[in-house]
């Protein structure tokens, strides 16, 4: 994972614990804090003269961009930030990443050389078990990760230097594709909070898959004794099928971006992940630079992901052991659209497009059972309102309009 450090958040030794006065400020008191600060301003007291506990309370409710702007603008807030940088940065990460925080942290840890250079089937399985437990914990908090200051800075750097630019590129390309296919206006309303969560979460999960299963061209890394069915059993089975499709939408996006460069080893190039893609899209100086970079990075490591998406591998997994999701599919359990709600640990909030494809009943199929044309406009990423207003429902009906149901072929 790239680790370009934002200058205003560079680590500076051991963080100092907050003062005793700050420790009594809890989140339910934020409104009271806001009222106090507003009263202070009305009385002519500037932000620079706020009591220390109020300064900390303000810093403790900001996302990264707001925190950075305030620290740049105010010497007083910059000093308070330096005093408790680690704790403030972890809280800021949690507010910035939201439901994707656990995915971002797992992605970071999987990228460390201390883990990646010693990967085995057993260590990958153990890593993903811990990840699953964190995802399923209703009490999960980013503070549970016990991140050091350097680790928090690295996660921030990767998010804002790599994930965010590619997130914007994905959203633009996907919605432009939708507009081109439907003849709708090329103007798109901003993404909702839920749409942002779906896209960013899927990006981190794709990167996590790359870190865990891609065999890099590195003499220090031992070959992994893993097959495509292991990707399904260890990784894809952690998610609901529409969440797997979110990941596959990102995979198709990355594959299309690399395909423009006519890579002969496309699969292995794609599974290098976002670090290489960001370099290719935003840092190439000329064609020779591009060729040199690609030759240094590419490998034949992408067959595991493609294989995991195949009908044959999914069939083999079912033959080994029928899962609870398979039984729900077999029974055609109802799965209606209940609204665009915050994704939860139980995966009970499928997007409208998924319920339309499977006619409001449960399906545990993904990958080759569906079409890349649907993924190119990110069909499972968008809210119901966008599907209605920008023609997604009509396009989905056209691309998946057959009465044929692949579940009928599953016994």
Q: What is the pLDDT of residues 115-173, one digit of tens each?
A: 888 888 999 999 999 999 988 876 676 666 778 888 888 998 899 999 999 999 999 99
- The verdict on residue 90 lying in a domain is no
pLDDT in tens, 217-265: 554 455 677 889 999 999 999 999 999 999 999 999 998 887 765 544 4
- The verdict on residue 401 lying in a domain is yes
Q: Could you identify the residue written with the tokens 């009594």?
A: 24
Rg (CA), the chain: 23
3-state secondary structure of 334: strand
Asked whether the predicted pLDDT for residue 34 surpasses 60, the reply is no
DSSP class per residue in 269-288 = HHTT-HHHHHHHHHT--SHH
Residue range(s) defining the domain that contains residue 32: 17-83
Mean pLDDT rounded to a whole number for the chain: 81
Asked whether the predicted pLDDT for residue 30 surpasses 70, the reply is no
Higher pLDDT, 93 or 371: 371
Distance CA 384, CA 10 (A): 41
Residues in the chain: 411
Distance CA 375, CA 199 (A): 12
pLDDT for 32: 46
- The verdict on residue 298 lying in a domain is no
Asked whether the predicted pLDDT for residue 16 surpasses 50, the reply is no
- The verdict on residue 234 lying in a domain is no
Domain finish residue from 64, 83, 102: 83
- The verdict on residue 330 lying in a domain is yes
Q: Could you give the number of structural domains in the chain?
A: 2
Domain finish residue from 33, 48, 83: 83
pLDDT for 68: 86
Q: Could you identify the residue written with the tokens 């909070």?
A: 193
- The verdict on residue 357 lying in a domain is yes
Domain finish residue from 33, 60, 83: 83
pTM of the model: 0.82
Let me know: does 12 contact 85? Beta carbons within 8 Å: yes
Q: At what angle do helices 75-83 and 85-97 cross, to 10 degrees?
A: 100
- The verdict on residue 120 lying in a domain is no
pLDDT for 196: 94
Other C-beta atoms closer than 10 Å to the C-beta of 374 total 21
Asked whether the predicted pLDDT for residue 288 surpasses 70, the reply is no
pLDDT in tens, 389-403: 999 999 999 999 767
Distance CA 380, CA 173 (A): 15
């Amino acid at each position: 994972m790239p680790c370009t450090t934002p200058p205003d958040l560079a680590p500076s030794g051991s963080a100092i614990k907050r003062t005793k006065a700050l420790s009594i400020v809890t989140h339910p008191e934020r409104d009271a804090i806001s009222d106090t600060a507003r009263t202070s301003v009305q009385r002519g007291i500037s932000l620079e003269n706020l009591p220390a506990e109020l300064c900390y309370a303000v810093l403790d409710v900001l996302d990264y961009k707001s925190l950075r702007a305030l620290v740049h603008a105010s010497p007083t807030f910059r000093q308070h930030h330096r005093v408790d940088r680690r704790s403030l940065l972890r809280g800021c990460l949690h507010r910035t990443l939201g439901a994707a925080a656990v995915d971002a942290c797992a992605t970071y840890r999987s990228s460390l050389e201390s883990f990646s250079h010693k990967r085995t089937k057993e260590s990958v399985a153990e890593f993903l078990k811990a990840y699953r437990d964190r995802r399923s914990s209703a009490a999960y908090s980013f503070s549970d990760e016990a991140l050091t200051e350097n680790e928090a800075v690295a996660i921030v750097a990767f998010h804002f230097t790599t994930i965010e630019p590619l997130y914007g590129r994905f959203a633009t390309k996907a919605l432009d594709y939708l507009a081109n296919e439907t003849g709708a206006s090329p103007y798109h309303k901003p993404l909702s909070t839920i749409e942002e969560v779906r896209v960013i979460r899927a990006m981190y999960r794709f990167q996590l898959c790359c870190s865990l299963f891609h065999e890099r061209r590195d003499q220090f890394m031992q070959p992994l004794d893993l097959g495509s069915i292991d990707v399904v059993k260890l990784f894809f089975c952690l998610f609901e099928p529409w969440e797997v499709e979110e990941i596959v939408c990102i995979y198709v996006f990355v594959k299309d971006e690399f395909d423009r460069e006519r890579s002969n080893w496309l699969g292995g190039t794609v599974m290098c992940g976002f670090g290489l893609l960001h370099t290719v899209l935003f840092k190439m100086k000329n064609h020779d630079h591009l060729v040199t970079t690609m030759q240094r990075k590419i490998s034949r490591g992408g067959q595991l992901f493609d294989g995991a998406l195949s009908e044959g591998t999914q069939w083999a997994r079912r033959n080994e052991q029928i899962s609870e999701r398979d039984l729900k599919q077999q029974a055609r359990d109802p799965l209606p659209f209940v609204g665009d709600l915050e994704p939860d640990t139980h995966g009970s909030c499928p997007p409208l497009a998924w319920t339309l494809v499977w006619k409001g009943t449960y399906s545990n199929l993904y990958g080759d059972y569906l079409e890349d044309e649907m993924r190119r406009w990110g069909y499972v990423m968008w809210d119901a309102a966008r599907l209605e207003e920008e023609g997604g429902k009509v396009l989905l009906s056209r691309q998946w309009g057959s009465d044929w149901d692949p579940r009928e072929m599953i016994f």
